[in-house]
């Protein structure tokens, strides 16, 4: 039997649904809307296995903030009604047959990445449901990312059009340009156009840095900021080696739970 694992980037979905609700204190409405959304996702994807991955709400900013203290320093806190309603949302999703996985010590992104790569590396199909383009560095013939809200696939042609690089170069791209929404600085003075130019000529930041052919206008910036670029690349790269502690069988989708 072929496997199709669907991984829900839970807070990515919930925040977007909650933000458009007329009454942000009405968690029952958010539960109802996310339930309809998940039903459509299940009907479209026809998963054999499914899981929703959450950041633990008591968790700090994780290992990334240890190597880059400003990482997500100014991120907006979760609205209080939504924070208090997470247990109810997880319970409602469990009744639909979707178990929840909470990250512990790592960001949910790394947990999603580890699980996705583990399954996709066995030539089984994986679909990540998220608007987060950071997952696109994981793309492979058996691993796809679905932006449910824009009804589009975040695939290699999308990345080429959006960033001008290959999916495998995204961490290097963000190492150069930074990610302003997460307070990741990159190399000052190198924006998307320059990063695309550099990564068209060289595969990685390290290749560019060690090459005599790196043009003069970038050489000085690299020499001054290479360590920051390396740090930002590390922050942008997803971890895929987290100890999971469960079996794929635990995630089998068998319809709503009656208990």
Q: How many CB atoms lie within 10 A of CB 94?
A: 15
Instruction: Describe the crossing of helices 170-177 and 156-163 by its angle, rounded to 10 degrees.
Output: 20
109 is in an annotated binding site: yes
Strands 99-102 and 49-54, bridge-based pairing: parallel
Q: Measured between alpha carbons, how far is 223 from 169 in angstroms, rounded to an integer?
A: 21
55 is in an annotated binding site: no
176 is in an annotated binding site: yes
Provide CB contacts within 8 A for 158, sequence distance 6+: 136, 152
Give the residue carrying structure tokens 């003069």: 216
11 is in an annotated binding site: no
187 is in an annotated binding site: yes
H or E stretch at 146: strand 143-147
Binding site listing for Mg(2+): 109
Binding site listing: 109, 176, 185, 187, 190
Binding site listing for K(+): 176, 185, 187, 190
């Amino acid at each position: 039997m072929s496997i199709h694992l669907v991984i829900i980037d839970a807070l990515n979905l919930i925040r977007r649904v909650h933000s458009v609700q007329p009454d942000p204190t009405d968690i029952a409405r958010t539960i109802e809307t996310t339930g309809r959304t998940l039903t459509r996702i299940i009907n479209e994807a026809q998963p054999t296995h499914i899981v929703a991955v959450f950041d633990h709400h008591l968790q700090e900013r994780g290992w990334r903030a240890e190597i880059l203290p400003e990482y997500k320093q100014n991120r907006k806190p979760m609205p209080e009604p939504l924070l208090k309603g997470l247990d109810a949302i997880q319970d409602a999703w469990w009744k639909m047959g979707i178990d929840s996985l909470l990250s512990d010590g790592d960001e949910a992104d790394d947990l999603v990445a580890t699980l996705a790569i583990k399954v996709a590396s066995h030539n089984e199909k994986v679909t990540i449901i998220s608007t987060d383009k950071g997952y696109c560095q994981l793309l492979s013939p058996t691993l796809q990312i679905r932006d449910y809200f824009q009804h589009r696939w975040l695939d290699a042609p999308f990345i080429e059009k959006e960033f001008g690089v290959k999916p495998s170069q995204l961490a290097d791209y963000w190492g150069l340009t930074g990610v302003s929404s997460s307070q990741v600085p990159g190399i000052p003075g190198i924006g998307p156009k320059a990063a695309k130019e550099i990564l068209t000529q060289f595969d990685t930041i390290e290749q560019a840095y060690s090459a005599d052919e790196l043009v003069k206008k970038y050489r000085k910036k690299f020499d001054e900021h290479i360590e920051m670029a390396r740090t930002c690349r590390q922050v942008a790269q997803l971890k895929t080696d987290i100890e999971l502690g469960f079996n794929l069988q635990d995630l089998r989708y068998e319809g709503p739970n009656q208990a």
